[in-house]
Amino acid sequence: MTETNPVPPVLQAAWGMREKATKGPKPTLSVDRIVAAAIAVARADGFPAVSMSRVAGELNTSAMSLYRYVASKDELAVLMMEAAAGDPPAPRTAGETWRAAAERWAYGMFALLGDEPWFLQVPVAGPPATPRQLAWMETGLAALDGTTLAEAEKLSLLLLVNGYVRHEALLRGQMTEAARANGQTVDAVIAEFGGLMRHLVRADRFPLLRRAIDAGAMDTPNDPEADFTFGLARILDGVDAFIAHRPA
């Protein structure tokens, strides 16, 4: 009784489960070249600009040619992320605290999403299940290894941190995106948003918000790193408290 293969088709290429042909004409293209061209497009103009014909155009061929190498655009997206996601940060070393390792892990992810802002424009299809994604999870688990946390708790907490990083990177990405679209600096966009708030938030309807604005909460110069560090510290404080209140 042969077990049915549980790997969904979109993931098969990422796991190297596509046997390559021995017969037929020599391919003029390759999956790698297609993926590289698609990544170049995404880096230049964002993921929405990645269309089959655009990628084909970069390679001086037609859209349909790509389908000889890639089953669908979704599969291409998976391969793009798999190729562009670098390796995770080094796993926790011997003398390192779980917290320091978790911070490195989170910063590494934040940096990746800063280098490849189009990542966050790819519609996420489900839980992580590609080799690189699992490698990141593995490194995350290494950070929490040796703590009193249950395995399921570790996974929950990694998901928590991952969600935070993604959300924070998304906000940062939207800002830089808006800035680029309007030909402004990020600071100008933020200032503009502050002005909009100042204009829309009337004290009678949103008194506390008004107070926050008047206290200058919208006038802080842009510093995504600092925002990120602040929120991450809160989350890790929470994890810390959880570990502390638990029998060894």
- Chain contacts with DNA (rule: CB under 7 A): 21-29, 49-54, 61-65, 67-69, 72-74
If the CB atoms of residues 19 and 204 are measured against DNA, the closer one turns out to be 19
Residue 96: strand, helix, or coil? coil
Residue of the chain from 74, 82, 96, 240 that contacts its own copies (CB under 8 A): 240
CA distance 221 to 217: 10
If the CB atoms of residues 61 and 229 are measured against DNA, the closer one turns out to be 61
CA distance 153 to 141: 10
If the CB atoms of residues 58 and 177 are measured against its own copies, the closer one turns out to be 177
Q: What amino acid is encoded at 52 in this protein?
A: M
Q: Smallest gap, in angstroms, from Cβ of residue 2 to DNA?
A: 20
If the CB atoms of residues 30 and 87 are measured against its own copies, the closer one turns out to be 87
199 part of the interface to its own copies, by CB under 8 A: yes
CA distance 34 to 15: 17
- Residues in CB range of 240: below 8 A, 6 or more apart: 99
Place of tokens 């978790």: 102
135 part of the interface to its own copies, by CB under 8 A: yes
Which ranges of 46-130 does DSSP label H, i.e. alpha helix?
Answer: 52-58, 63-66, 73-84, 98-115
Residue 241 partner contact from DNA, its own copies, none using kind-dependent CB cut-offs of 5 to 8 Å = its own copies
Contact 115, 173 (CB under 8 A): no
Contact 98, 157 (CB under 8 A): no
Residue 13 partner contact from its own copies, DNA, none using kind-dependent CB cut-offs of 5 to 8 Å = none
Report the interface residues with its own copies, using CB under 8 A: 6-8, 15, 124-127, 129, 134-135, 137-138, 141-142, 145, 150-157, 159-160, 163-164, 166-168, 170-171, 174, 178, 192-193, 195-197, 199-201, 205-209, 211-212, 215-217, 220, 227, 230-231, 233-242
